[in-house]
Structure 1
Amino acid sequence: MIHIAESDFYQVDWDEWRTPLLQVSQASSLVVSAYDIAGVRQVGPLLPSHTAQLLGSSTLWHDGGPGAAAERRIVARMADGENDVEEQFHGMQICSLPLTRAGHRYGVLVFGWCLRDFSSPMACERLASLVGLSGRLLWSAVRLEAPLTDARLATYKELLRTLAGSIDRQRDTIDELNRVSRTRELFLATVSHEMRTPLSALSMRVDLLLHTLQDMPPALKTALLAMRMHVRQEAAMVEDLIDAARTLTGTMSVERVPVSLGRIVRDAVSTTEVNASEKRITLSVTPFDHGDHIELDADPRRLQQVLWNLILNAIKFTPAGGAIELAIQRDADAVRIVVRDSGQGILPEDLPHVFGAFTLQSHANASGLGLGLYIARRLVELHGGSLAVSSEGKDRGASFTVSLPVRPAKRAIA
């Protein structure tokens, strides 16, 4: 059974709230704050007006200040299940809205701090004395700003409700996509491993029959050989699925050691020569030494897998009698391995999708799961390199270029 913790998908990114809340605050002159459900202020207070900025310089919203205490009381009531809690604070209206995701209340918007009618010098003096301001300065700021009517406040409240709902729905959608994606990746990894064991057992038994049965009828031997080929094809696809699952879940890794590029190239070419010979395809390597003088910090098995994929891919899409060239080019700090074929080429509109997972060519000679190039690019990237493709179009061949960093040359000892 695959279990994914709910907490993995409902982490709140409060930074995404800052810009839209700031825009609403500036447009409406409302002081706005966002709290998590535990009562910790995460955004704000956003102070759009001169009066709000003057109050912000006081102790009103400081920790332990009367304004912060009033906001936390509202959040606590919202956490207990109340909706749209409002309070009055020395003639100022404070409103709130719940923030919900996937049916769970995770935060509260607290907004307002606006006068509902014209204040008086005496009222300003009382408020200023409470928060450590000059009453004269507060009255000078307040009397220049018009009160906010109930109708306008209700409009702004609905605007904030719409904004909060839109952001929460968008985040719900993203969370659900992430959950589905991770479930799929874990399922793929689990199924791939479960398939590998019976295929290995079946392959071993077929090999055992081929080596132990004496004087078997030709038809039986042909059937067993075909069975072995199909089992190996299925096993290769399972390995691709496992590698793809590791790539998707971020668990793909390489074990890099000092190694000669020539060894890797020779092993990859010798493994694929039979396939090229069956289609009468010429497979050439330049320079002649196969890059013996080039030292890499690489995982030999994984890098050989990359070259297998590129060469076998070229063989698959090159018609009988064609040609494939593997060219090695070295500069000061990198090496490029170019696999170039004379095959069917790639249409311009298909080039951006070549390295996608489960990307299959639509031509008749395509087979497999379409994961080889996807895995190859990831393996090259894990080596600190890059894999690129180019083609001049249909029937003009294709070139795949692997770029890898090389080991620094050893300094000569005098």
Structure 2
Amino acid sequence: MIHIALSHAGGIDWHEWDLPLLQFCQASGLTVSAYDIAGARQLGPLLATPVARFLGGSTLWAEDGPGSAVERRMAAAIAAGAPHVEELFHGMRVCALPLTRAGQRYGALLFGWCLRDFSSPMACELLARQVGLSGQALWREVRLDVPLTDARLATYRELLRTLAGSLDRQRDTIDELNRVSRTRDLFLATVSHEMRTPLSALSLRVDLLLKTMRDLPPALTTALQAMRVHVRQEAAMVEDLIDAARTLTGTMSIDKVPVSLGSIVRDAVSTIETKAHDKRIAFSVAPADFGDRIEIDGDPRRLQQVLWNLILNAIKFTPEGGAIAVVISRLDDGVRIRIDDSGQGIDAADLPHVFGAFTLQTQANASGLGLGLYIARRIVELHGGTLSVDSAGVGLGSSFTIHLPPPEPRD
């Protein structure tokens, strides 16, 4: 019989103890329960032996039973600071050990409920009468049961103490990792926002100088134009950091509306197509209407961001004279957008890591933080879709494929 009452009070997940305690119970033959610091049983009793299961059918461990009263009293002693507690109940040994988290006690483990010595019919009759069982039936169960000796109890106590310490240390480590992760994400989000403001001001002033100061020396004009390019690159990196922070903290959101896929693709292509022409790259979109007849539910700005990133990557890593094709297909289960290029390709060993955060290409003078594909995949996933990559190998080009689900039925 197993009674379980799970609680998350104080951040404790008692599910963590289910399997370890059950395995200990089965290996040792002891009955085990877990109590919180307030003296409420959260797990157990876990019963492994025929005697324990027989007693489990009695009132021993009922809410108002005598066994529960013993356990609550011992749990209270542990909460008060006792290193361990042991009691006898009609010849049955019961022990308690503390549970700690970050140096603070949060509960106790109660274990034992095995006879200290060989029992007798009279002792069984006294115990059975108190818990509503037949004394003769209890005697039949316990008369061949091996007593729990001092040496065996000491061994089991140390084994359980080690198990509890290991799980508590593991939990403390996980808590610390979560704290560091939250601090990192908050730092990343805060710094990103703080960097955005001065970069915006600097960009505006450079643009203002170039537009209003007509008599600037050529060298200064060239320097300001280069500065404008660098500021915009830095601003793009900051935007990537902000999006990455939102992704890491789970705060990135999208605003889906019914929209024509063609308008999204056309707007994305129109702003970056000239970059392909500058490298004499053959750039094509199929079908010719850019998917005007395909309706989706999506966030136009975010989907344009995905396409900009994928197409710009293709341009960046495709040599002059190469080719890039955007192919749109309507499918039974949605729509597929594939961006094929004849660029440097991706080694098979690197394919699983393409969408990782801060993954940088080392060829073709790659720049940036390596966040673009990481963010792009998250945006597509928020739309209920997938983003995948395929490449035949280095020098053989690559294909990035977006799959978006069909729109929701309209009323």
What interval of TM-score do these two structures reach, taking the shorter chain for normalisation?
over 0.9
Deviations 1:330-380 (A, max 9, x none): 112310000010000000010000000000112242110000000000000
1:209 aligns with 2:209: yes
SS of match in other structure, 2:227: helix
For 1:130, the equivalent position in structure 2 comes to 130
SS of match in other structure, 2:350: helix
Query: What letter matches 1:117 in structure 2?
Result: D
SS of match in other structure, 2:387: strand
Query: What letter matches 1:385 in structure 2?
Result: G
SS of match in other structure, 1:349: coil
Deviations 1:188-213 (A, max 9, x none): 00110111111111111111111111
1:170 aligns with 2:170: yes
- 2:297 touches 2:408 (CA, 8 Å); kept in 1? no
Deviations 1:112-141 (A, max 9, x none): 011110111111111111111111111111
- 2:317 touches 2:364 (CA, 8 Å); kept in 1? no
State the Cα distance separating 1:408 from its structure 2 match. 6.3
1:152 aligns with 2:152: yes
Deviations 1:128-169 (A, max 9, x none): 111111111111111021111110111111111111112112
Q: How far apart in 2 are the matches of 1:312 and 1:390? A: 17
- 2:264 touches 2:303 (CA, 8 Å); kept in 1? yes
Q: How far apart in 1 are the matches of 2:91 and 2:155? A: 20
CA distance 1:96–1:65, change in 2 (3 Å): same
Q: How far apart in 1 are the matches of 2:66 and 2:204? A: 77
Q: Which runs of 5+ in 1 are unaligned?
A: 1-7
SS of match in other structure, 1:33: strand
CA distance 1:9–1:139, change in 2 (3 Å): closer
SS of match in other structure, 2:43: strand
Query: What letter matches 1:225 in structure 2?
Result: Q
Deviations 1:47-93 (A, max 9, x none): 11111111111111111111111111111111111111111111111
Query: What letter matches 1:352 in structure 2?
Result: P
Q: How far apart in 2 are the matches of 1:388 and 1:27? A: 47
1:42 aligns with 2:38: no
Query: What letter matches 2:44 in structure 1?
Result: G
Q: How far apart in 2 are the matches of 1:360 and 1:140? A: 72
For 1:4, the equivalent position in structure 2 comes to none
Q: How far apart in 1 are the matches of 2:151 and 2:194? A: 64
- 1:265 touches 1:304 (CA, 8 Å); kept in 2? yes
SS of match in other structure, 1:301: helix
- 2:316 touches 2:364 (CA, 8 Å); kept in 1? no
1:102 aligns with 2:102: yes
CA distance 1:121–1:9, change in 2 (3 Å): closer
SS of match in other structure, 2:161: helix
For 1:86, the equivalent position in structure 2 comes to 86
SS of match in other structure, 1:153: helix
Deviations 1:206-257 (A, max 9, x none): 1111111122111111111111111110000000000000000000000011
Q: Which runs of 5+ in 2 are unaligned?
A: 1-7
- 1:336 touches 1:402 (CA, 8 Å); kept in 2? yes
Q: Give identity over the alignment, percent.
A: 73
Query: What letter matches 2:363 in structure 1?
Result: H
- 1:37 touches 1:108 (CA, 8 Å); kept in 2? yes
Q: How far apart in 1 are the matches of 2:240 and 2:401? A: 21
SS of match in other structure, 2:55: helix
TM-score, with normalisation over the residues of structure 2? 0.96
- 1:294 touches 1:406 (CA, 8 Å); kept in 2? no
The 5-angstrom pairing of residues 257-268 of structure 1 reads 257-268=257-268
Comparing 344-353 and 81-90, the one that deviates more: 81-90
- 1:262 touches 1:293 (CA, 8 Å); kept in 2? yes
State the Cα distance separating 1:172 from its structure 2 match. 1.7
For 1:372, the equivalent position in structure 2 comes to 372
Q: How far apart in 1 are the matches of 2:142 and 2:407? A: 70
1:229 aligns with 2:219: no
Q: How far apart in 1 are the matches of 2:386 and 2:408? A: 19
For 1:336, the equivalent position in structure 2 comes to 336
The 5-angstrom pairing of residues 383-398 of structure 1 reads 383-398=383-398
For 2:251, the equivalent position in structure 1 comes to 251
Q: How far apart in 2 are the matches of 1:112 and 1:50? A: 14
Comparing 168-177 and 301-310, the one that deviates more: 168-177
Deviations 1:85-118 (A, max 9, x none): 1111111111111111221111211000111101
Q: How far apart in 2 are the matches of 1:333 and 1:209? A: 52
Aligned length: 404
Deviations 1:360-410 (A, max 9, x none): 112242110000000000000001100000000000000000000122688
Q: How far apart in 2 are the matches of 1:367 and 1:194? A: 22
